[in-house]
């Protein structure tokens, strides 16, 4: 099988993607911004600085790209990676952005998408909706400490997707030419508000978890106190505002189309991750 470079190989999507590609027989090269400990399987890449990009694509036939979290200038990091891939003869790139990235041609993620579209490379663009895994990572402190999900989204709904399904879609796209040069908005099968999410988690762990709508400025203060960069905090508040306005409610059949099965449910996610909330 192909030699495949995975950017973000240690992240939520990338780590599962590496595992799935290995099962499919790919020779996987994991990009890491940390010191390399296994040169046969890892390569140093820092998208924020561009360090390691030319070397990373040596002998690579295809690549999975995404921008690291915490940055708002995604195009400035991804465009050089796309250029390096093309310069080294990479055949295909699968790029992950986010659902809604193509709604604004001036948005950095959209600029990266357009750069790939114009590159001449075979491609797929996947735009996942909000991850289910946010509830066991980014939003977990409120759940563990106060039994609450705190977000400024009122009763708006989101078609949350299990990150493992995103990885599975990416693995399939990197293992087949069937869907080359297509774009997919990835969602779960149903849209739920955060009261419904809290109820599902509550039922799984046997403790009451609730949702509390909070003003954006309260979340801003908490995120800044946690050490997130100010511009990234504003970006998060912006996209949460889109969520509140209803833009995350749409569902698609993309997971079914690519994988031939329905996306995982929130109940299945909660069952598989119940240990994360054991102390709630």
As averages over each run of 10 residues, the pLDDT of the chain (280 residues) reads 92 97 97 91 95 95 96 97 98 98 96 98 98 97 97 98 98 98 98 98 97 97 94 96 98 98 98 92
User: What torsion do the CA atoms of 144, 278, 14, 79 make, to the nearest 10 degrees?
Assistant: -10
pLDDT of residue 251: 98
pLDDT of residue 1: 67
| Contact present, 78 and 112 (Cβ < 8 Å) | yes
Domains of the chain: 3-128 (3.40.50.720)
Q: What is the pTM of this model?
A: 0.96
96's enclosing H/E stretch is strand 92-96
pLDDT of residue 48: 93
Task: Please tell me the distance from the alpha carbon of residue 200 to that of residue 277, in angstroms, as a whole number.
Answer: 12
| Contact present, 250 and 100 (Cβ < 8 Å) | no
pLDDT of residue 273: 98
pLDDT of residue 279: 76
Task: Please tell me the distance from the alpha carbon of residue 81 to that of residue 117, in angstroms, as a whole number.
Answer: 14
SS3 41: coil
pLDDT of residue 2: 81
Tokens of 96: 């992950």
């Amino acid at each position: 099988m192909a030699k495949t470079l995975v950017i973000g190989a240690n992240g939520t999507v990338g780590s599962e993607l590496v595992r799935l590609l290995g099962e499919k027989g790919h020779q996987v090269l994991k990009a890491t911004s940390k010191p390399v400990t296994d040169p046969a399987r890892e390569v140093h890449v820092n998208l924020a600085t561009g360090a390691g990009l030319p070397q990373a694509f040596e002998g690579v036939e295809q690549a999975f790209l995404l921008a690291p979290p915490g940055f708002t200038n995604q195009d400035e990091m991804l465009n050089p990676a796309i250029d390096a891939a093309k310069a080294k003869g990479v055949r295909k790139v699968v790029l992950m952005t986010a659902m809604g990235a193509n709604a604004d041609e001036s948005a950095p993620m959209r600029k990266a998408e357009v750069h790939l579209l114009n590159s001449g490379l075979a491609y797929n663009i996947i735009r996942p909706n909000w991850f289910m895994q946010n509830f066991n990572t980014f939003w977990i402190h409120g759940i563990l400490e106060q039994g609450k999900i705190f977000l400024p989204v009122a009763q708006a709904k989101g078609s949350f997707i299990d990150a493992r399904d995103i990885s599975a879609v990416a693995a399939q796209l990197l293992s087949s030419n069937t869907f080359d040069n297509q774009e997919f908005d990835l969602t779960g099968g149903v849209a739920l508000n955060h009261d419904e999410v809290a109820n599902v988690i509550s039922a799984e762990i046997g403790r009451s978890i609730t949702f509390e709508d909070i003003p954006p400025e309260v979340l801003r203060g908490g995120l800044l106190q946690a050490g997130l960069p100010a511009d990234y905090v504003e970006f998060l508040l912006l996209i949460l505002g889109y969520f509140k306005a209803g833009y995350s409610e749409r569902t698609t059949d993309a997971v079914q189309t690519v994988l031939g099965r329905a996306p995982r449910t929130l109940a299945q996610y909660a069952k598989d991750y119940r240990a994360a909330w054991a102390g709630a």
